[in-house]
Amino acid sequence: MPYISTKTNITIPKEKEVKIKERLGKAISILPGKSENWLMLSFEGDSSLYFQGKSDKPIAFVEVKLFGKSSAEAYSKLTSEISVILKEELSIDPGQIYVKYEEVSNWGYNGNNF
Ligand SMILES: O=C(O)c1cc2cc(O)c(O)cc2[nH]1
């Protein structure tokens, strides 16, 4: 049950959001055992974000939370793919993107915790 949130200082047109949603749905399988079946996503455009004291270029902060653990190699591959997606869909340069990973041991769903 991964969760990916994407926050950016630029506007995300609806058709781009849908495309990114589809691409992240495939990319999540880079993490062994994870799939779009349990993936939740959120998008927040037009955010007040600054990087290196500036907000004059497209910037993104992406958070990936997952139940359990994965490997540094898998996280690195996912970062590459997320960066490609945001570059191709929103023209955000990889050097303007942070991707944070969080491994969660207590995850609730459907009224109970796994
Ligand atoms: O995507 C996951 O991390 C995930 C899905 C899923 C379903 C399930 O029934 C479990 O017991 C664990 C679990 N993890």
Class of domain 2-113: alpha beta
The predicted-structure confidence for 51-106, as pLDDT tens digits, reads as follows 999 999 999 999 999 999 999 999 999 999 999 999 999 999 999 999 999 999 99
Q: Which residues line ligand 1 (CB under 6 A)?
A: 1-2, 34, 38, 66-67, 114
- Distance in Å, CA 64 to ligand 1 centroid: 16
Residue 59 neighbours by CB under 8 Å, 6+ apart = 8, 9, 10, 49, 50, 51, 92, 96, 97
Mutate to test the pocket of ligand 1, among 4, 67, 103 (most ligand atoms within 8 A of CB): 67
Strand, helix or coil for residue 14: helix
% residues pLDDT > 90 (the chain)? 99
- Cα separations in angstroms, 113 against 47, 55, 57, 102: 32, 39, 41, 17
Cα dihedral 82→88→89→94 (10° resolution): 50
Structure tokens at 85: 């997606």
The pTM (predicted TM-score) of the whole model is: 0.97
Q: What's the mean pLDDT when you consider all of the chain?
A: 98
The whole-angstrom separation of Cα 26 and Cα 13 is 20
- Distance in Å, CA 72 to ligand 1 centroid: 20
Residue 95 phi/psi, 5-degree rounding, is -75, 0
